[in-house]
Amino acid sequence: LRDFLLVYNRMTELCFRHCVCSLNYRLLTGREESCLDSCAARLVRANHRLMGAYVGLVPALLQRRAAEHGAAGPLVPGPAAPSPDAPHAGT
């Protein structure tokens, strides 16, 4: 949610600075509205492309990270997995 709000606020600021020329009127002019629409659409499309690339790269990054940790050994030893033949506690 924090990342979404940061992106939204940045997009709003960029498009406002680029498109709104005058603060003399309460409502936006038609030209300002169309500029804001196209500005927001461009930034949303760019964000989608970046997220698509990120999603494509994540599995490789996770696999490489897992291989690095596997080669170095476990960082924090976890509990040993019980053997299937071992009796269960309380039985």
Report yes or no on 45 lying in a domain: yes
The Cα–Cα gap between 41 and 46 comes to 9
Report yes or no on 89 lying in a domain: no
* Structure token digits, residue 61: 């990054």
The Cα–Cα gap between 3 and 49 comes to 16
| Largest Cα–Cα separation, the chain | 80
How does pLDDT run along the chain (91 residues), one tens digit per residue? 788 889 889 999 999 999 998 898 899 999 999 999 999 999 999 988 988 888 888 888 888 888 888 876 555 544 554 544 545 444 4
Report yes or no on 87 lying in a domain: no
Domain with 37 in it: what CATH number?
1.10.287.810
Q: Where in the sequence is the domain holding 7, given as residue range(s)?
A: 1-70
15 burial via Cβ count (<10 Å: 0-12, 13-18, 19+): buried
* Structure token digits, residue 21: 């020329």
Report yes or no on 60 lying in a domain: yes
Report yes or no on 10 lying in a domain: yes
